Structure 1
């Protein structure tokens, strides 16, 4: 038997030997992944039948160690060839320990932090017998109406690529099969984040320039980091469904990038080629998906027939080849050998319980929540608050909502372990400060149920109160307090998959609550719990901080930020529009033919964002000086170093995210006014100055040109900008000459 440390030659020899014993039905089974849902007896019985018959290669949504072990015993001991199962799960931002949501981790601008968080998630998941995470999601999202932007890194491909690679390293370690690690599955290939109108599952129509320059880079970075799996997307891409798109899955992914892992569809996406009216019927859908480059079908949930069950018939009729079938099977079996499943397929249930109870995992979650927060406003220096304050009114439906604090797309967290904002504040101030609480308003129900609101998952607590009475109570508490802390935003079921919105307004009567509290004149801090920009109307609180969905230790982290034990240093991973009518509003837009009117596109208000990409305040202040290049002129193909001196001019130790942007003035295509090409989060003591240096390598100066139908780096002139956001900063010029 091969071991996790076996050479690739040894593994491939063993794979070939095993495949020589397999029937066509067993081969098709290795390419089929079935859902299992707790409590759905009939579904589970059907799955067990397929496992015993060798017609299932993978299962998903099993999250109990003992149940995983039981099903694995069936596969290994009761099927003809004893091939172990791959168990997969949506490990998006933690397993038992909820980390801040991925968009929040992107706001930290700290890839090493994202790597640490996913390493903890992988360790917890692997301990219960899971082998594979359907993460990271690396789709670029420039329309905040799309709920799934919360799973990614925002709007920028450079930041997105850094976060994608870091998360892959966190999940997989230094190799596939590393102890306490799982297979990373970047998704959704490709363009899913650009769905029309921000409507989930809707079609995507992207130019080649947008695909190659914006949407492809994070996937390529994830593959270069070693990702073992890629998940294909649901939707149609330029008229061809992604899960049946041979150009995408074979020409780009395999031939262009050299990906050697396996491709799995999103849930039911192979069968849904028929739904798209792309395939004639479900057997035709299976043929089209396999021939396009899909290696494994995630079967439709809730009893849907797997399309790949028809592959033996397709082989017999000549619609697929044995070579293509064997290629896909070999990729799946290779991954099982790399993960060591043929040596150690079973679960140590007792050890898993100890791993899940590791207190140190929460320390990583705490650090991540502190580093992810983005301070948006702090007029008059209201923050940080004094611990000597006599009374605080903590108001809002999410102030003491453990489930919402953990955030969407996490299913095995223990809500009793989650520290809410209210609990964090009370623990921070102790008995010397009176802390009153009101939920303020009800949380409205969605017009359409969430796909996660089903009887097989823990229900989300519903917040329902008499809004009029509770708003009046909130006003009274605010009037009696020295400071009010409002925790507003969106319930976790209002964002994520199947959670697009047609408005960015505060849901329900939260805006009315905000206005009423502000009218009291009490100094007010607004903590925003969501994963997208929102449109706050009317008067604005003196202090505002984006805390996202901060995870298991989120309330403790928030209290540390409020009282100055931690200093906010996060930066926005997207432009924050003034209102929904501006969307999409990417910072990296092309220069118009009337650039002097950029801010006058709308006659009724400025065109620019409320807060720009890369923006975030601190309890300190920073000065940038002495921007310099190692050479003012380089040749095509050469590199240059960009350096700047950054000084902490405040009285607190703090961290700043130093950001490098470029603009190419002319070439075979027009280029965005600014593009992020480097960043570094640095810690500075009061008065300390540090020199920060960025490399500008040829790959950072090139782009995919529609004019040449390929990658180009051209002799041209670049504007170089360095600062604390995508606006302003210091500027200089770089000249790039043709090769001698």
Structure 2
């Protein structure tokens, strides 16, 4: 429940409250909350200028201010501030990045909505976000949970495999989003994790299309409800038609990761989660950057251009064959270059790099897309229409879809949020507890042997669960978490009963392009120093390796030195120890294969699930505690 804080709130002569968004003192049909959505949409379309229509077709980025005041906005180089986007460029779909604490976030959102109410027809802003309920900080894909409850990454949800848990998470996330005015989710990511090196796997539900489909539907249930309404968060499922089969596992954000390949002929397998989401109903779909290589559909070669530019994929497959009638929004930055923190990223215009900005926009619209993600050049659309290269009727098709979602969400009737209650509706103790418990449940036990090691006495029982009072040596786990779990901190390995080593899946650090350092790509093999450290500890004490898997890792060299191995997918120290002590039963099962070697990964086919031969651990593996 929000509060009516704008001066545009009026009452009709017959006592109906409404927002006088065009300031004419009359409740026009699009302002009448009693009328059907489509009737309101058609009335508004007939009133809009071409500039207003073009503004609706852009979905770009902005950050809230630390103070919560629009007046303190300091836009980064080459990009407009939020007030300018909404007030001058008439763009009213904003992907928000930085958010201050909830009360100030709500204040910023309300000021932005008041700015939108001053535009010619008062079209409200739809605030969207990438996932921000877990542990991965990547400004191109996700944010760390700071002011919201923290949960495992979607891979962890997949490890548990419980649709009701996913529904519970999505319902809590919806409440926290709406408390600060976020009404659209740039997720779920329903790609399949079939290429072990791909950097985006942490945001997926794993490699199995059936499991991904089931969890995706539960996710949509929790965020959107049976149908979009004033309490919903509209979802954007991505990345159509499945972004997992990347050549060499490289990510399509970057020029070296343009190609998407199907050597195993599994294109339809990657489509399955999207078929299910479309049948269920989802408000928006995002195509991926990838450029299909050597793909044929219905006997016809598919143009080798990025999916957002690809008419065969969007208009032909998604619209006509699969019957999708909702919003299609491109991934971010297909048309112009991006800059952030001193780094540049070229336009992701894969296969059409030679086209001008105008021709790229034209090709995207002709492909069947409704919105350009991450761009802020509505004047290009206006010029294309005035030059006769795009009809206004075609623009109206997209505007109709985009406005329908805004009306369904109730934004035209009241887009404001209660600033005084925002903090009381986010990170509630019960939300935080549920998230921490889910983290612990998602822990996947891969090995649990008797204690061993040159300096340790072999134990007749498995090393886990850890008993109260166990002396633990760990450089990574906090002393506070150990004490909370009833364990004792040992200052060195020789004085410990067990060592816990937390490691993350390896990757090659890259930092040439914007965002590149946040994408964990390249080799899955651990460096020599990590292997040496675990081996050295194992000579003195039984070692429990806790491996954070944002993608698979080659655990082979660590396995002989480990008394126990547990995989996690975003879990705090407290949650890990709840699982290792058995306070919360770890019930995770691997959502993908863990390869025995890098060579086996290189030999596998990117589009085929479970294609690594002689895996160290198979998808679905997990031990009972």
Q: TM-score over 0.5 for the alignment?
A: yes
What's the CA shift for 1:577?
0.6
Question: Is 1:99 aligned to residue 140 of structure 2?
Answer: no
> Contact (CA 8 Å) 2:166, 2:219: kept in 1 or not?
yes
Alignment CA distance shift 1:235-1:590 (3 Å)? closer
CA offsets 1:206-240 (integer angstroms, 9 cap, x no match): 44984543211112222233211111212222312
**Contact residue 54 and residue 81 of structure 1 kept, 8 A:** no
The answer to whether the 8 Å contact 1:93/1:118 transfers is no
| Equivalent residue for 1:318, pick from 388, 394, 410 | 388
The answer on 1:222 being equivalent to 2:255 is no
> Secondary structure of 2:182's match?
coil
3-state SS in 2 of match to 1:186: strand
Cα distance in 2 for partners of 1:124, 1:316 equals 43
- Counting only pairs closer than 5 Å after superposition, residues 198-597 of structure 1 correspond to structure 2 as 198-201=249-252, 202-207=257-262, 210=265, 212-238=267-293, 239-271=304-336, 272=347, 274=349, 276-278=351-353, 280-300=355-375, 306-380=376-450, 381-396=461-476, 399-400=477-478, 422-429=479-486, 433-436=487-490, 477-490=492-505, 499-506=519-526, 509-520=529-540, 522-536=541-555, 537=557, 539-550=560-571, 554-583=572-601, 585=604
Are positions 1:71 and 2:104 aligned together?
Answer: no
Residue 14 in structure 1 maps to residue 33 in structure 2: no
Q: How far off its partner does 1:178 sit?
A: 5.0
CA distance in 2, matches of 1:533, 1:607: 14
- Going from structure 1 to structure 2, the CA distance change for 1:336 and 1:388 (only over 3 Å counts) comes to closer
- Distance in structure 1 (CA, Å) of the matches to 2:163 and 2:31: 27
C-alpha contact 1:274 1:282 (8 A) present in aligned 2: no
Give 1:588 shift: 10
CA contact (8 A) 1:51 1:75 kept: yes
Q: Deviations over 1:514-559 (max 9, x none)?
A: 1110121x12211112322222316331111112212xxx333222
Counterpart contact for 1:172–1:178, Cα < 8 Å: no
| C-alpha contact 1:92 1:151 (8 A) present in aligned 2 | no
Partner-residue secondary structure (3-state), 1:124: helix
The alignment partner of 2:500 has SS state of strand
Alpha-carbon distance between aligned partners in 2 of 1:264 and 1:588, rounded to the nearest angstrom: 24
Q: Is the 8 A contact 2:441 2:579 kept in 1?
A: no
Q: Which has the higher strand share?
A: 1
Contact 2:55 2:89 in 1 (8 A): yes
Contact map agreement 2:205 2:211 (CA 8 A) in 1: yes
The Cα of 1:488 is off from its aligned counterpart by 1.6
- Are the equivalent residues in 2 in contact too, given 1:150–1:531 (CA < 8 A)? yes
Q: CA deviation at 1:6?
A: 7.2
Q: Does 1:187 align with 2:238?
A: yes
**Cα contact 1:487–1:526 (8 A) shared by 2:** yes
The separation in 2 between residues aligned to 1:376 and 1:126, in whole angstroms, is 38
Q: How far apart in 1 are the matches of 2:184 and 2:81?
A: 23
State the shift of 1:89 in Å: 0.7
- Separation of aligned partners in 2, 1:607 and 1:195: 19
TM, length-normalised to structure 2: 0.78
3-state secondary structure, aligned to 1:41: coil
Q: Hey, what's the Cα distance between the residues in 2 that align with 1:5 and 1:568? A: 52
Aligned residues of 1:533 and 1:576 also touching (Cα < 8 A): yes
Distance 1:339 1:349 in 2: 19
Corresponding residue pairs, total: 529
CA shift in 2, pair 1:319/1:357, >3 Å: same
Match of 2:86 among 51, 76, 101: 51
Question: Which of the numbers 61, 77, 84 marks the counterpart of 1:35?
Answer: 61
Q: Is the 8 A contact 2:244 2:607 kept in 1?
A: no
Q: State the shift of 1:350 in Å.
A: 1.4
Secondary structure of 1:60's aligned partner: strand
Q: Secondary structure at the match of 2:554?
A: coil
Give, in angstroms, the shift of residue 190 of structure 1. 2.5
Indicate conservation of the 8 Å contact 1:93/1:102, yes or no: no
Aligned counterpart in structure 1 of residue 123 of structure 2, from 83, 93, 105: 83
Partners of 2:31 and 2:47 lie apart in 1 by 22
Give the superposition deviation at 1:318: 2.0
1:114 aligns with 2:166: yes
Shift of 1:370: 2.3
**Does the 8 A contact of 1:156 with 1:214 survive in 2?**
no
Q: Does the 8 A contact of 1:92 with 1:134 survive in 2?
A: no
**Cα displacement string for residues 444-494 of structure 1 (whole angstroms, at most 9, x for unaligned residues):** xxxxxxxxxxxxxxxxxxxxxxxxxxxxxxxxx111111112212259997
- Tell me what 1:625 maps to: none
Q: Which 5+ residue runs of structure 2 have no aligned equivalent?
A: 1-17, 19-28, 66-72, 100-104, 135-144, 294-303, 337-346, 451-460
Shift of 1:260: 2.2
CA drift of 1:508 comes to: 7.3
Corresponding residue for 2:15?
Answer: none
- Structure 1: where are the runs of 5+ without partners? 301-305, 401-421, 438-476, 592-597, 599-605, 620-740
Question: For residues 661-700 of structure 1, what are the structure 2 equivalents within 5 Å?
Answer: none
User: What is the SS of the residue equivalent to 2:239?
Assistant: coil
Between the aligned partners of 1:208 and 1:505, the Cα distance in structure 2 is: 24
Residue 285 of structure 1, CA deviation: 0.9
Q: TM-score, normalised by structure 1?
A: 0.67
Secondary structure in structure 1 of the residue aligned to 2:328: strand
Distance between the aligned counterparts of 2:240 and 2:221, measured in 1?
A: 19
Q: What secondary structure sits across from 1:67 in the alignment? A: helix
Whole-Å Cα distance in 2 between the matches of residues 47 and 587 of structure 1?
40
- SS of the aligned residue for 2:446 comes to strand
User: Structure 1 CA distance, aligned partners of 2:87 and 2:607?
Assistant: 53
User: Does residue 610 of structure 1 match 2:616?
Assistant: yes
Asked if the contact 2:86/2:116 (under 8 Å) is kept, the reply is yes
Q: Matches of 2:32 and 2:622 in 1, distance apart?
A: 45
Pairwise CA RMSD: 3.0
Structure-1 separation of matches of 2:609 and 2:498: 44
Inter-CA distance 12–492: structure 2 relative to 1 (3 Å threshold): farther
Find the aligned partners of 2:360 and 2:207 in 1 and give their Cα distance: 33
Secondary structure of 1:216's counterpart equals helix
Q: Structure 2 vs 1, CA of residues 252 and 211 (structure 1 numbering), >3 Å: closer, same or farther? A: farther
Task: Please report how far the alpha carbon of residue 133 of structure 1 lies from its aligned counterpart in structure 2 after TM superposition.
Answer: 0.8
Map Cα deviations across residues 235-276 of structure 1 (whole Å, 9 max, x no partner): 222312111111211222121222222111111124436564
Closer/same/farther in 2, CA of residues 222 and 492 from structure 1, 3 Å limit: farther
